[in-house]
Amino acid sequence: MSDTLYIQTEKNVEVHSPDVYLQDVAKLSCCNSSVLNRNKVRKVFTIPQNKPGRYVVSAMDLIDEIQKKEQSVDVNHIGEPNFVITYETQKHKHVAYSWFKTILVCLVTFVGAAFSIMTFNTDVDTSGLFFHIYKQFTGNISDGYTILELTYSIGIGLGVIFFFNHFGGKRLTQDPTPMEVEMRLYEDDIDTTIIEQAERKENQ
């Protein structure tokens, strides 16, 4: 009775060595531990010219590499038929540079968000709306610093906190934030486009 090796591939995997082994790009499972251990360290891909970038690999290529050496093993593939290998060399992390980038992103985000809120308030004339509401309900002239402006300002801050699901370094719930959802969709679109472009080149 032949052994069955299960391999599961994701859409994108990141590696830091030009020699790519099966365990680097796939999850493996097999009842026979010797078969499993042999194939974990099986070399399946080499980064061309040690050049950082993204490379499309077919799951069929992995299966072919395995069956060349393991003719008595049945290979069962689960997951993406084609996937992307992202190769990046190991770089020394500069703490000061990382802090600089973080501060820069925070400043750009803060200024952009503040500008968006200000342009929205100007566009819909929020101050004028509050002026008329305050005068209608109290009969007094608003000086611009009433309970309406106060609660509106607090509400914007609380709304941002609940919308982005973060307060400081803590999550309010276990749900992914809107930013995380959008980034995941963006990454999926990039991977899909890279795979489709590689398939078109092969068919030409």
Left (φ > 0), alpha (ψ -120 to 50) or beta: where does 144 sit? left
For residue 14, give both structure tokens.
Answer: 């990141």
3-9 and 73-79 strand pairing: parallel
Q: What global pTM score does this model have?
A: 0.68
CATH placement of domain 3-87: 2.60.480.10
Using pLDDT thresholds of 50, 70 and 90, give the confidence band for residue 36: very high
- Between CA 59 and CA 65 the distance in angstroms is 10
For residue 124, give both structure tokens.
Answer: 């819909």
19-21 and 43-46 strand pairing: antiparallel
Is the Cβ–Cβ distance between 83 and 24 less than 8 Å?
no
* 149-176: average pLDDT: 80
Q: Of residues 10 and 164, which shows the higher confidence score? A: 10
- Reported as a single tens digit per residue, the pLDDT across 83-104 is 999 998 877 777 888 899 989 9
Tell the residue number behind the tokens 């509400």, with chain if given: 155
Domain boundaries, the chain: 3-87, 95-203
Q: Which amino acid is at 144?
A: G
Using pLDDT thresholds of 50, 70 and 90, give the confidence band for residue 168: low
- Reported as a single tens digit per residue, the pLDDT across 46-77 is 999 889 999 999 999 999 989 988 888 999 99
pLDDT reported for residue 38: 92
* 177-183: average pLDDT: 83
- Between CA 70 and CA 31 the distance in angstroms is 15
Classify residue 5 by burial, with Cβ atoms within 10 Å: 0-12, 13-18, 19+.
Answer: buried
Using pLDDT thresholds of 50, 70 and 90, give the confidence band for residue 113: confident
- Between CA 140 and CA 8 the distance in angstroms is 69
- Percentages helix, strand, coil for the chain (3-state, rounded to 5) are 55, 20, 25
Of 10-14, 82-86, 133-137, the one with minimum mean pLDDT is: 133-137
Over 80: is that where the pLDDT of 165 sits?
A: no
- Between CA 39 and CA 111 the distance in angstroms is 52
- Between CA 119 and CA 123 the distance in angstroms is 6
- Between CA 167 and CA 119 the distance in angstroms is 25
pLDDT reported for residue 158: 86
Over 90: is that where the pLDDT of 119 sits?
A: yes
Angle (CA) 45 48 49, round 5°: 140
pLDDT reported for residue 86: 93
